[in-house]
Amino acid sequence: MEKDKLVASVSGFLFQYDTPRMVIVKNKNIGVTFRLIQLGVLAYIIGKIGTPEAPGRGRWVFIYEKGYQSTDSTISSVSVKVKGIGFTNLSDMGPRTFDAVDYAFPSQGSDSFVIMTNYIITPRQTLTYCIQQQSSRGCKSDSDCSAGEFGRYGQGIMSGKCRNDTEGSKSCEIFGWCPAENDHHVSNPPLLMAAENFTIFIKNAITFTAFGVSRRNIVESVTKEVLKNCTYHKVHDPLCPVFRLGYIVEEIKENFSALAYKGGVIGIVITWDCDLDWPEKLCIPTYNFHQLYGGLGKEKVSTGFNFRYAKYYKENGTETRDLYKVFGIRLDIMVNGKAGKFDIIPTMTTIGSGVGVFGVATLLCDLVMLHFLPKRNYYKQKKFKTVKGESSKMTTAEVSEDGTKGSHCAASQDNPMQ
211 and 95 housed in the same domain: yes
Show the domain range for 52. 16-67+343-410
122 and 202 housed in the same domain: yes
226 and 285 housed in the same domain: yes
pLDDT for res 134:
60
303 and 220 housed in the same domain: yes
Beta-bridge partner residues of 322: 311
User: 170 lies in a domain?
Assistant: no
User: 145 lies in a domain?
Assistant: no
266 and 122 housed in the same domain: yes
Is the entire prediction scored with pTM above 0.75? no
| Blockwise average pLDDT, block size 10, the chain, 418 residues | 76 71 78 84 61 36 70 89 90 86 86 94 94 74 88 86 82 92 88 96 95 94 93 96 96 93 94 92 95 67 88 94 95 94 82 75 83 82 67 48 44 41
- Spell out the residues 6+ positions from residue 135 whose beta carbon is closer than 8 angstroms to its own: 153, 184
Beta-bridge partner residues of 203: 79
Q: Which of 211, 177, 134, 131 is nearest to 319 (CA)?
A: 177
pLDDT for res 137:
62
- Enumerate the H helices of 277-375 as residue ranges: 344-357, 359-371
Last residue of a domain, one of 280, 310, 341: 341
User: 79 lies in a domain?
Assistant: yes
306 and 401 housed in the same domain: no
pLDDT for res 399:
45
Question: CATH number for the domain including 285?
Answer: 2.60.490.10
44 and 85 housed in the same domain: no
User: 8 lies in a domain?
Assistant: no
User: 144 lies in a domain?
Assistant: no
Tell me which amino acid residue 27 is: N
pLDDT for res 413:
38
Tell me how many domains the chain contains: 2
User: 4 lies in a domain?
Assistant: no
CA atoms within 13 A on the CB side of 178: 13
128 and 55 housed in the same domain: no
Residues 182, 123: contact at Cβ < 8 Å?
Answer: no
pLDDT for res 39:
84
Sequence length of the chain is 418
Last residue of a domain, one of 341, 359, 382: 341
267 and 381 housed in the same domain: no
Last residue of a domain, one of 307, 325, 341: 341
Distances (CA, A) of 413 to 4, 369, 381: 44, 16, 15
Q: Which helix (H) or strand (E) holds 43?
A: helix 28-46
User: 173 lies in a domain?
Assistant: no
276 and 375 housed in the same domain: no
E strands of 112-179, at which residues?
112-131, 157-164, 170-178
248 and 359 housed in the same domain: no
Residues 408, 24: contact at Cβ < 8 Å?
Answer: yes
| Cβ burial, residue 285 (10 Å; 0-12/13-18/19+) | buried
34 and 114 housed in the same domain: no
pLDDT for res 401:
46
User: 90 lies in a domain?
Assistant: yes
